A and B are shown apart, each in its own frame.
Chain A
Amino acid sequence: MKIAIIDYESGNLKSVSKAVELASNNILNKSDVKIINLANELKNFDKIVLPGQGSFKQCYQSLLSIEGMIDELTSAVLVKQKPILGICVGMQLFSSFGEEDGGSKGFDWIKGKVNKINLTDKNLKLPHMGWNNISINQKSKLFSGIENESHFYFVHSFAFDVENDQFISATTNYSTEIVSAIEKDNIFGTQFHPEKSQANGIKILENFIKL
């Protein structure tokens, strides 16, 4: 099982690769995890992790600046049906459009828009930062073996407003209901950071590797 982590100079890359390696060692007794930044390398891998931090637009632009990367990703995911896990902005990029920073289109793999979290409770802060409990759709493959209302680590100000509810695999409450995970065929994503969510997070990465 070869897993690629896409490097487009965004965020906590090392944390992500370290956690994926641990999860892989836990269930396969070995790990073949590589951080890549070239589109033509993607074909050598079975699964893809797309991390992401920063603004939606900046992340999209950074991916766009790697020649052929978005096309190769799309072909790997939609044609070859390779499983992909998007983390935080990595997941948000699967949407149709993100309004952050003047707006940018996304990959449009899962219909919906990424909008700023609408805080009705003025005592709450943005970013939504820290540990929050999530409500899990029990049919989800990613959350297999994870107790409902478990805690995960979030840090974001924008959230994915998914058009079709059936692709939402978990939600959390922060003034409003926030999509915290999505699942559609071979496409998976978490708004929270599994790589920073201790045992529960590692379990999610294990589930992704087991798929």
Chain B
Amino acid sequence: MLKNRIIPCLDVKDGRVVKGINFVDLIDAGDPVEQASVYNKNGADEICFLDITASSDKRDILLDTVKKTAECCFVPLTVGGGVRSIQDIRKLLLAGADKVSINTAAIKNPELIKESSNKFGSQCIVVAIDAKKTAENKWTVFTHGGREATELDALEFAKLAEKNGAGEILLTSMDRDGTKNGYDIELTKKISRSLNIPVIASGGVGNLQHLKDGILDGGASAVLAASIFHFGEYSIQEAKEYLKKENVPVRL
């Protein structure tokens, strides 16, 4: 039986792991290489590395840091931040990424999803959607690490990403990110029910029950969390033992 995945996320700025609230007010949370190494040992099902200011700083991702992080990862590593072209993706794969997450560039140019999934395979292309609730039952897509609003409806864009060949959707609620109030279950449910590809729930985890809710109520195939793992509140192992007890299929 396929297991639900627990994914610790390293939000990296200037080569350091940081954690913010609603995408700003960043606090230092350590060295990405050390963090990745610990997560790899402790049973993370995947690791996600996001260079969160690459797009807003208009620069390329920190390839060297990605390389060092990948060295100690023998689980799938998703890397994102400032990915704009096929060449960027190939560079990241050669640096040791297994999947590449595209956000701003995919929204500016949805054809990039098509081209890159044709070239590298759908399994390699994660489309990251940062969504904010803007009306009852409506969520809007933001870009540039949550700094710029678009006209796009989150569900419509997720469907387009799937149609263009995305292998999965990394869905972050900007309203919940860093609040520790739990995932936006309504948003997660709405998107995951409408798509055939897996959805990773992200944004807002404060305790282990939130992980369970994201999977059982939100319908997410995988759950992503940052601060509860970075600051040692819970280990990946504890999270998995809890989920198993709650009848969520996990790999222990």
Minimum distance in angstroms from B191 CB to a CB of chain A? 12
Q: Is the CB–CB distance between A129 and B167 below 8 Å?
A: yes
Chain A residues packing against B (C-beta within 8 Å):
9-15, 18-19, 22, 53-55, 58, 89, 124-133, 151, 153-157, 173-174, 193, 195-199, 201-202
Contact across chains for B196 and A196 when beta carbons are under 8 A apart? no
Please state if B45 and A130 are interface contacts (CB–CB under 8 Å).
Answer: yes
Whether the Cβ atoms of A131 and B96 lie closer than 8 Å is no
With known contacts A131-B2, A174-B2, A14–B167 Cβ distance under 8 A: no
Contact present for B167 and A15 (CB under 8 Å): no
In the bound complex, residues from chain A placing their C-beta under 8 Å from that of B5 are 130-131
Smallest beta-carbon distance A55→chain B, Å: 7
Does B62 lie at the interface of the complex (its beta carbon under 8 Å from any beta carbon of A)? no
**In the bound complex, CA of A55 to CA of B70 (Å):** 25
Of A22, A129, A153, most B-chain CB atoms within 10 Å: A129
Contact flag A58-B70 (CB < 8 Å), given A127-B197, A130-B2, A198-B75: no
Name 10 interchain pairs, CB-CB below 8 A, sorted by A: A11-B93, A12-B97, A18-B71, A125-B198, A129-B2, A130-B5, A130-B198, A130-B221, A131-B45, A198-B40
* Closest B residue by C-beta to A200: B74
Q: Tell me the smallest distance from the CB of A80 to a CB of chain B, in Å.
A: 30
Q: Is B237 among interface residues, defined by CB-CB distance under 8 A?
A: no
User: Which B residues touch A198, using CB under 8 A?
Assistant: 40, 74-75
Q: Is the CB of A196 within 8 A of B222?
A: no
Q: Which residue of B lies closest to A55 (CB)?
A: B121
Q: How far is the CA of A196 from the CA of B70 in the complex (A)?
A: 11
B95 within 8 Å of A (CB atoms): yes
Q: A14-B70, A127-B167, A130-B3 are contacts. A55–B118 as well, Cβ < 8 Å?
A: yes
7 nearest A-B pairs in the assembled complex, by CB-CB distance: A54-B121, A155-B123, A53-B121, A131-B251, A12-B98, A14-B96, A125-B198
Chain B residues with CB below 8 A from A89, complex form: 121
Question: Does chain A have a CB within 8 A of B184?
Answer: no
- How far in angstroms is the closest Cβ of chain A from B113? 14
Closest residue of A by beta carbon distance from B219? A123
- Shortest CB–CB separation between residue B116 and chain A, in angstroms? 10
Query: Taking A53-B123, A55-B118, A201-B74 as contacts, is the C-beta distance between A129 and B93 under 8 angstroms?
Result: no
B124 within 8 A of A: yes
Known: A13-B94, A153-B76. A58 touches B221 (CB 8 A): no
A196 to B75 CA separation, bound complex (whole angstroms) = 4
Q: CA of A103 to CA of B149 in the docked complex: distance in angstroms? A: 41
Tell me, in angstroms, the Cα distance from A151 to B3 when the chains sit together.
9
Give the nearest-CB partner of A124 in chain B.
Answer: B2
| Pair B2/A11 contact, Cβ less than 8 Å | no
B residues less than 8 Å from A196 (CB atoms): 74-76, 98
Q: Which residues of A contact B118 (CB under 8 A)?
A: 54-55, 58
Q: Are B2 and A19 interface neighbours, CB within 8 A? A: no
Does B124 lie within 8 Å of A11, measured CB to CB? Answer: yes
A154 to B201 alpha-carbon distance, docked (Å): 20
